[in-house]
Structure 1
Amino acid sequence: MLLLFEMQIAIGDTLSISPNFYHIDREKSIIVVNQSANSLSVRNTNPKSHISLDRTYEFDQSIREISTDSSYKVSLAGSVYTLYFTQLPIIHINTSRAIEDTPNVYARFTMVEDTGLITQSNLGIQTRGAYSQTFPKKSYELSFWNDTVGTIDRDIRLLGMREDNKWNLQAMYNEPLRMNSKVANELWQDIHEIYYKALEPTAKNGIDMAYVELFVNDEYKGLYALGERVDRKQLKLKKYNNGIKGELYKGYDWGGASTFTSLPPFSNASSTWGGFEYKHPEEEVNWSNLYNFVGFVENSSNKDFYDNYKQKFDIDNAVDYYIFLNFTRALDNMGKNIYIAKYKTGDPYFYVPWDLDSVFGNNWEGNIVNITDDILSNGFYDRLINDCSPGGFRAKLVQRWAELRSSVITEDNILAKFEVNHEYLTHNNVYKREHTAWSSYTANASYLSYVRGWVRNRIGYLDVAFNQQCTPLNARLARQEVGLKLYPNPTSDFLTIESDPLPFEFSIQDMRGKTVLKTSLKGSTNKVDLSLIAKGIYIVTVKSSKAIQTQKLIVN
């Protein structure tokens, strides 16, 4: 239901707000108004001593003008409220049931934009995410319905983004200034365009996001990013039709298949396999194609791999994602939090990034990790990086990095993206409200300076790393020189490392970047005692004279 309301201001000493544009959390004693600031200009009029909302509140001192970057004290019957004005859309979700991970519960959705546009719908809502569900501020998955039980979906267009029945509300709780994932998604679309764009003009390899503020059952929940989803519709993959079909798989875990480090058996009776979750086509679950591709990557001879991988995976996409993965240092996106897709039968696979909060020197726990001198990889890239042929992966990497360094991946361009978002949120006083909603959070603008330094150092390192001379490896040693296996993972007491039979430096860092173990090892198989390391998530780094590789380690 879409409605357009006129905005008006009363004459005299009372500022009048249209009913749909004020939003009150009585427990937190805050009022947020997103009626257009232009319509509320009180300059050159009588000072306003009162504001009319559900009732008439009194300003603690008369005002002559309104600003979104200020706050105001108003009182009603002895209760004092902090009043804010904002340009951001405000979403209300109201439900009589507890919102949990699954299943969807029925709710009513209302979104009010400062232009006067109001969107209303029935809704199914559940919390979303894996590790992020441990945070107090929850992310949500929204399913729009034409009924109250979810039997009839409803496609809806929100904030200029695509029309769809499913949307995500990202909490961004672990992002220092609530903008890492939004900037990263924007950057990916600046870097990469889907290869079949001419055939599917609306296809998009990635998602758009827009800032909103959220109330759930009239409780203010703070700043969120309303975002699109990665699915068949977003990518315009072919539907299932007489053997012609697109494919889509989500890397939901650090499995052997999703990281290209092992080839476990599959069952078409299961919607998951080796760290992947089956997404499309909906008409059947058949892992054969992806299994064959993972097996090709892991087990083919070097001649077979280098002769044929370009027919199986879009090389330009592989290059762009490798650059993006490493430039942003997306720690959680080497196997998990990444989609593999195929447009139609006979076409190559390609990557689609997802869930980009652990980027730009920040990790998935929300801690600073000031590491800029490593290379992120997986089993697939371990092989691609050794393709030294003309027009091969390394040649394209050098060329593409040079192109992006002259335009998109520059210190000023990246910082401009952060600064635009920061200015918008600061101008609308969002950070103060976010602290009101989540008292443990305080915005620290010095993170922008940290990001600038981090980006500068990361670019400097990759300028060297991506332009190193590519030395062809002989067929027998090509897989071994960057081969690395860590097991068991997760582990509780020890870790076995299989690698090159050469001296190498082995280190483990926690999510704050603190080194908890560092040693030198020799030989092809080593066992490291982890019994004194606390439970948690760590990053393992192995450096030799010929390679550097990083992997995630879970100690439980």
Structure 2
Amino acid sequence: MKNTLIFVTVIIFFAIIFFISDIEGFENLDNSISIKNVKNISEKEFKNIKSNRQESVYDLVNMKYKNNELPHDSKKDAYYIPNYNKEYNFNLFYNKSTTIKSISNNEKNLIKIIAYNKNKYKVYNISLTNMPIINIELEDKNNKNELISDDYTYGKINIFDNKTKQNKINILNESAKLKIRGLSSSQYDKKSYSIQFINSNSGKEKFINDLLGMDRNSKFILNSLYEDSSKIRDKLSWDTWKHISQNKDNTIKMEYVELFINDQYYGIYGLSEMPNEYKLKAQQDSSIIYKIKNDKILPELKDLSLDDLKKYGERSVNIIYPKSFSNDTLQPLKELSKLIYHTTNEQFEASIIDYISIDNCVDYFILLECAYHIDGLGNNNIFTYDIKSKKFTRTPWDLDLTWGAYPVWVKDGDVMKELLPDEKIELSKQLLYKNGNMTKTTTYLEQRLWQNNVGNFRQKVAKRWKELRSGFLETESFVNYANSLYDEVTESGAREREHERWPDGGYSTDNSFIEKFIRQRLPYLDSQFLQYLDDSGEN
């Protein structure tokens, strides 16, 4: 009797399993087919399939690329995958009772399929993008308003990289912690984030090699690009600095990506390298890296201690490296500040060359003027101090207010809020160094070098400018490059997806403003710089 009961129980159990496996939502998706092998049907056939069936509320297929589920936007119920060399591929997993067909459509970046069985059907839209995709799944899903906060939030990052490998997508799966970054930009609806890759077991930092062609590091930045109507200013500026800078250790790489967080589409981001000790190749015990976040502090720095700087909060001077520091660590920057802001021209000229790399200052000055980098005068500077040579080099930062973008602030009660910037074409025919007062900074390093022509600074600028104008900064070539970046964002479909997701963010329908700014800016700087070519042997 007992054996009979056991036998009957087993039979009932398997019968239930068999019955459940045939219920909608519980089907075994153990068959697979490449999207390339899915047969195409007409719109008429598509309508016939739907007419005899009900729409399924459950998925009839699961879509993966090399065992990685395709990024999904739950709001639009749409899936996404990058193409590579204008090609794409992924697999669909389905039940043996399900049929899959591709539906003809006129949108070149859209794949539309229908999966159906005897009673049900479901339609799937898959958008193709030219950009890599970052798909983040956070551990804490309870906070619905802001999924990532000012404190670290932990999660898994899945990166679909279509840039670094030929004829395939390179997949990266890692653990990470993320948090909101930025000061004024944190007021915007769309946030920027910092990424710290970690070991999933120990929680310690983990270094990633060749992330979208970037240098080995554990930290990276997701820049929201929210306020920029063109979505190209940051990348155009970083790419310009790459060609201007004669020191390749202080160039920063940025690549476009589309971001998803917990099945929500977050739009276009600029994934960029973090200017920390690893990126800037700071040697242990021989380098100090300072980040200047407040132009008002530099002139006062000679009289301030670390405790004094804490009163300014985030808008202060940050010591990026070393991690452990004292008031002595601040001393080299205080000495530089004193020399820049509190000396006569004679004292400045006699000593400044001992503190700086003149070629680095030439390059930095050219970037400031070429891009009209308003935020780069006394603010958003990164100074790297080499203890052995006792010299500083500069790395630019925060390159959104460039190429004619001008900040707009309004007072809301006791708080100053930054609105989306204006675009001012008249800036294309002004010298930035003469307008230092717009940041309330009385002077800055390169301004004094230029005005006093320290070490033939003007002639060095003229010579370097002439070299660049016959190469990367040749007008037609540079305009074409700027337009190619704009077209990259537009043709991927990401520009319209971004605008739909963030309708109050910066948006434009063409690149005419930046093109006009460049066409006016470069010849204007010719007239300002090249007149000094014959003044010395520098030419």
- TM-score where L is the length of structure 1: 0.71
Deviation at 1:423, TM superposition (A): 2.9
* Residue 232 of structure 2 corresponds to residue 179 of structure 1: yes
Deviations 1:232-278 (A, max 9, x none): 111212211xxxx2111101122230xxx444522244666894211
**1:444: which partner in 2?**
508
For this pair of structures, how many residues does the alignment match? 439
- Are the aligned partners of 2:100 and 2:114 in contact in 1 as well (CA < 8 Å)? yes
- Are the aligned partners of 1:17 and 1:35 in contact in 2 as well (CA < 8 Å)? no
* Residue 370 of structure 2 corresponds to residue 327 of structure 1: yes
* Residue 463 of structure 2 corresponds to residue 399 of structure 1: yes
* Residue 132 of structure 2 corresponds to residue 67 of structure 1: no
Deviation at 1:356, TM superposition (A): 0.7
**1:248: which partner in 2?**
289
Letter in 2 for 1:319: V
Letter in 1 for 2:462: V
* Residue 523 of structure 2 corresponds to residue 460 of structure 1: yes
Deviations 1:393-417 (A, max 9, x none): 1222222222222223232232122
**2:206: which partner in 1?**
154
SS of alignment partner, residue 156 of structure 1: coil
- Listed as ranges, the gaps of 5+ residues in structure 1 are 43-50, 195-202, 473-556
**1:135: which partner in 2?**
188
**Residue 117 to residue 313, structure 1, CA distance change in 2 (3 Å):** same
Superposed counterparts of 1:256-267, under 5 Å: 256-257=297-298, 261-263=299-301, 265-267=303-305
**1:219: which partner in 2?**
264
- Are the aligned partners of 1:435 and 1:441 in contact in 2 as well (CA < 8 Å)? yes
From 333, 337, 349, the counterpart of 1:306 = 349
Letter in 2 for 1:290: L
**1:381: which partner in 2?**
446
SS of alignment partner, residue 163 of structure 1: coil
From 419, 422, 430, the counterpart of 2:494 = 430
**In 1, Cα distance between equivalents of 2:300 and 2:88:** 62
Deviation at 1:421, TM superposition (A): 1.7
**Residue 128 to residue 342, structure 1, CA distance change in 2 (3 Å):** same
**1:548: which partner in 2?**
none
**In 2, Cα distance between equivalents of 1:411 and 1:453:** 11
**In 2, Cα distance between equivalents of 1:461 and 1:299:** 32
Deviations 1:202-247 (A, max 9, x none): x62121011111110110111112110111111212211xxxx211
* Residue 64 of structure 2 corresponds to residue 18 of structure 1: yes
**In 2, Cα distance between equivalents of 1:207 and 1:431:** 24
**Residue 73 to residue 461, structure 1, CA distance change in 2 (3 Å):** farther
Report the aligned-residue RMSD: 3.4
**1:352: which partner in 2?**
395
Superposed counterparts of 1:232-247, under 5 Å: 232-240=277-285, 245-247=286-288
Deviation at 1:455, TM superposition (A): 1.1
- Are the aligned partners of 1:318 and 1:351 in contact in 2 as well (CA < 8 Å)? yes
- Are the aligned partners of 1:214 and 1:220 in contact in 2 as well (CA < 8 Å)? yes
- Are the aligned partners of 1:210 and 1:225 in contact in 2 as well (CA < 8 Å)? yes
SS of alignment partner, residue 408 of structure 1: coil
Letter in 2 for 1:368: E
- Are the aligned partners of 1:92 and 1:215 in contact in 2 as well (CA < 8 Å)? yes
- Are the aligned partners of 2:458 and 2:532 in contact in 1 as well (CA < 8 Å)? no
**In 2, Cα distance between equivalents of 1:18 and 1:234:** 34
- Are the aligned partners of 2:175 and 2:200 in contact in 1 as well (CA < 8 Å)? yes
SS of alignment partner, residue 332 of structure 1: helix
**Residue 71 to residue 325, structure 1, CA distance change in 2 (3 Å):** farther
SS of alignment partner, residue 400 of structure 2: coil
**In 1, Cα distance between equivalents of 2:62 and 2:138:** 29
SS of alignment partner, residue 234 of structure 1: coil
Deviation at 1:101, TM superposition (A): 4.7
From 131, 137, 154, the counterpart of 1:94 = 137
Deviations 1:168-223 (A, max 9, x none): 111111122211101110100101121xxxxxxxx621210111111101101111
**2:156: which partner in 1?**
108
Deviations 1:260-301 (A, max 9, x none): x44452224466689421112223232111101111222233
**1:282: which partner in 2?**
323
Letter in 1 for 2:227: N
**Residue 78 to residue 180, structure 1, CA distance change in 2 (3 Å):** farther
- Are the aligned partners of 2:80 and 2:126 in contact in 1 as well (CA < 8 Å)? yes
**Residue 60 to residue 355, structure 1, CA distance change in 2 (3 Å):** same
**1:210: which partner in 2?**
255
From 229, 239, 244, the counterpart of 1:191 = 244
From 399, 414, 423, the counterpart of 1:368 = 423
- Are the aligned partners of 1:312 and 1:348 in contact in 2 as well (CA < 8 Å)? yes
Deviation at 1:71, TM superposition (A): 6.6
**Residue 106 to residue 41, structure 1, CA distance change in 2 (3 Å):** closer
- Are the aligned partners of 1:21 and 1:33 in contact in 2 as well (CA < 8 Å)? no
Letter in 2 for 1:102: D
- Are the aligned partners of 1:312 and 1:349 in contact in 2 as well (CA < 8 Å)? yes
**Residue 424 to residue 256, structure 1, CA distance change in 2 (3 Å):** same
**Residue 468 to residue 93, structure 1, CA distance change in 2 (3 Å):** same
Deviation at 1:11, TM superposition (A): 4.9
**Residue 67 to residue 214, structure 1, CA distance change in 2 (3 Å):** same
**2:274: which partner in 1?**
229
Deviation at 1:18, TM superposition (A): 3.1
Letter in 2 for 1:22: L
SS of alignment partner, residue 31 of structure 1: strand
Letter in 1 for 2:159: M
- Are the aligned partners of 1:74 and 1:82 in contact in 2 as well (CA < 8 Å)? no
- Are the aligned partners of 1:8 and 1:18 in contact in 2 as well (CA < 8 Å)? no
Deviation at 1:436, TM superposition (A): 3.0
Deviation at 1:319, TM superposition (A): 1.3
Deviations 1:483-502 (A, max 9, x none): xxxxxxxxxxxxxxxxxxxx
- Listed as ranges, the gaps of 5+ residues in structure 2 are 1-31, 42-60, 163-167, 408-419, 434-442
Find runs of 4+ consecutive structure 1 residues off by over 4 angstroms.
5-8, 13-17, 35-42, 51-61, 70-82, 98-101, 269-274, 467-470
SS of alignment partner, residue 514 of structure 2: helix
Between structure 1 and structure 2, the one with the greater Rg is 2
- Are the aligned partners of 2:450 and 2:457 in contact in 1 as well (CA < 8 Å)? yes
**In 1, Cα distance between equivalents of 2:346 and 2:87:** 69
Relative CO higher for 1 or 2, CA cutoff 8 Å, sep ≥ 6? 2
**In 2, Cα distance between equivalents of 1:86 and 1:316:** 40
- Are the aligned partners of 2:382 and 2:396 in contact in 1 as well (CA < 8 Å)? yes
Superposed counterparts of 1:464-543, under 5 Å: 464-467=527-530
